[in-house]
Amino acid sequence: MSKIMKIVLLEANNLGEDMVFTPFFPLGEVKIYPSTSPEEMPERVRDADIIVANKLPMCEKTLKDAENLKLICLTATGINNLDGEYLKKRGIRACNVAGYSTDAVAQHTFAMLFYVWEKLRFYDDYVKSGEYTKSEGFSYFKENFYELSGKTWGIIGMGAIGRKVADIAEAFGCRVICYSATGGTYQLPENRKQVDFETLLKESDILSVHAPLNEKTQGLMDMKAFEQMKKTAVLINAARGPIVDQESLYRALTEEMIAGAALDVLEKEPMAADNPLARIQDSKKLLITPHMAWAPVETRFRCRDEVVKNIQAFLAGEDRNRVY
């Protein structure tokens, strides 16, 4: 393509304030906005050939005046903010980035688990408060915790991240079982077993969610699901917030249906002030991190580079990571 492309980055801050955007500059005329609201979007994309965005809605309401638009590049894997039918009708291509955060999300999954599983906040506070200096013994056993070895780790969504989590869980001595919400059949090694949802809930000591958000997974972890779990179980969600019903999780934790939960994602982000989970201040029972599992420095810069490669491929007449 000989025409100079107008490239608009709408949510630059979502890649971090330390992000460097110079790799985009050789690709065209680049305009960078730290953040953009849906209301601001139509004017900002009016002359764009290429949009780089994260969570903004890509639909007729926001894109109808962008007559030159040819390509949407997401700085994310999830594509539920794309109106695929509208994009196909307009002939607008869309690309995501896949696989860039596998190691990071798996790492954060275990960081969250251990914080809750081993009651780390409680014991850290005990030492920092000065109480340990008054102890008569060298150990303190106020809060029990348990070995991972021999436990059953259940996984919802055995994609790249789910498989990485399974590998690490097995290294700790866990038995791994998994469930596909879409009903697909996984190709698994002999030591892993695909089970139905009821079996997954009843047998898992740790249950981690690594599935995309769709009509099959939205609200999957509801009250009925929590009622079938072990009272000693811990839930981890490092996927998409709406997969876990927050009111149900609040009840499950406060009524001691399960032992704990660790979440990196919520139904609404940033967290809504009236989110019932905000009322749980016990860090032995609940940990919430602000959607940061994907955010190590290397991972964010890798995400940027993947978007640059998607644009380079498009300019060369090729498809790369195309979803529409």
C-alpha 287: how far from chain center? 15
Question: How do beta strands 234-237 and 206-209 pair?
Answer: parallel
As given in the structure block, the two tokens for residue 248 are 């149900």
In angstroms, the CA 243 to CA 322 distance is 25
Residue 122, amino acid: F
Judge contact between 221 and 227, C-beta under 8 A: no
| Catalytic hit among 269, 279, 298, 318 | 269
| Catalytic hit among 108, 240, 300, 304 | 240
Task: Determine if residue 300 is left, alpha or beta; phi over 0 gives left, psi from -120 to 50 gives alpha, anything else beta.
Answer: alpha
> Residue 240 catalytic?
yes
As given in the structure block, the two tokens for residue 168 are 């690490």
> Residue 269 catalytic?
yes
Residues near 61 by beta carbon (within 8 Å), at least 6 away in sequence = 38, 42
Q: What are the CA-CA distances from residue 164 to residues 106, 107, 109, 116, 268 (Å)?
A: 6, 9, 10, 20, 27
Closest CA to 237 of 207, 201, 199: 207
| Catalytic hit among 46, 121, 291, 322 | 291
> Residue 44 catalytic?
no
The CB density around residue 169, as the number of other CB atoms within 10 Å, is: 25
Q: Which long-range contacts (CB under 8 A, 24 or more apart) does 103-106 make?
A: 103/164, 103/299, 104/293, 104/294, 104/295, 104/296, 104/298, 104/299, 105/161, 105/164, 105/210, 105/238, 105/293, 105/294, 106/161, 106/164, 106/165, 106/168
Q: Could you list the active site residues?
A: 240, 269, 291
